[in-house]
């Protein structure tokens, strides 16, 4: 059985694959993710990103487990402000958000919208719930953490050790204003 998962943007011009299981599957409630998802959702044809309670769902993968097969020339960097260390990369062929990369991070958070309907692995935990002014609508089906969860940070760290502390670079082609 292959442990490779095929992912694509909405129009199919961007084709990629990931190897193995994600480091973690999370919903983030932080101010930055909510602001960015809100802005990216307004791009023409962009898929819905935010859940009813304001979460953005992503799967964390090591960068060396990710391979672009086609359409990488469509990738553009979006930053909340010019000084933002974090970039969010969008496929402009159809305005599908692809991944979030923290500055210096050895992993990327791949947006759930890349998975075919129903194929996304289940959410394991929620992070940064403490950023919400009112969290009463957040379900309690998985652990909700007010900040970044220790388990989440630990999994990221051990995955970096397994990578030999490398940090591959992912090429994009310009920037995007949204
Ligand atoms: Zn596309
Ligand atoms: Zn976030």
Quick: pLDDT tens for 120-166: 999 999 999 999 999 999 999 999 999 988 889 999 999 999 999 99
Task: Outline where DSSP puts E strands in the chain.
Answer: 4-8, 15-19, 24-28, 56-62, 66-70, 75-78, 87-91, 96-101, 107-111, 125-127
Q: Which ligand number lies closest to the CA of residue 27?
A: 2
Three-state DSSP state, 171:
coil
Spacing, Cα 33 to ligand 2 middle (Å): 4
Distances in whole angstroms, Cα of residue 171 to Cα of each of 103, 123, 138, 144, 146 = 14, 28, 36, 33, 33
Distance, CA of 74 to CA of 55 (rounded, Å): 26
Percent of the chain with pLDDT strictly greater than 90:
93
Question: Looking at the domain that runs over 4-162, which CATH code has it been given?
Answer: 3.90.1590.10
- Kindly list the domain boundaries of the chain, sorted by start residue: 4-162
Residue 79 has pLDDT above 80, yes or no: yes
Residue 1 has pLDDT above 70, yes or no: no
Q: Which ligand number lies closest to the CA of residue 43?
A: 1
Three-state DSSP state, 72:
helix
Read off the pTM: 0.95
Distance, CA of 69 to CA of 19 (rounded, Å): 13
Q: What's the rounded mean pLDDT across residues 38-61?
A: 97
């Amino acid at each position: 059985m292959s442990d490779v998962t095929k992912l694509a943007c909405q129009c199919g011009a961007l084709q990629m694959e990931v190897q193995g299981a994600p480091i973690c599957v999370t919903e983030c409630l932080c101010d930055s993710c909510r602001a960015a998802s809100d802005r990216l959702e307004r791009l023409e044809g962009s898929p819905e990103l935010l859940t009813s309670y304001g979460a953005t769902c992503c799967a964390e993968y090591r960068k060396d487990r990710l391979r672009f097969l086609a359409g990488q020339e469509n990738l553009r960097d979006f930053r909340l402000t010019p000084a933002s260390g974090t970039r969010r990369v969008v496929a402009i062929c159809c305005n599908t958000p692809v991944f979030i990369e923290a500055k210096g991070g050895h992993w990327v958070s791949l947006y759930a919208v890349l998975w075919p309907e129903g194929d996304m692995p289940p959410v394991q935990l929620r992070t940064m719930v403490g950023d919400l002014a009112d969290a009463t609508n957040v379900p309690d089906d998985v652990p909700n953490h007010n900040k970044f969860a220790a388990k989440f940070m630990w999994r990221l760290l051990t995955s970096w050790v397994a990578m030999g502390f490398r940090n591959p670079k992912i090429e994009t082609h310009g920037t995007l204003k949204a």
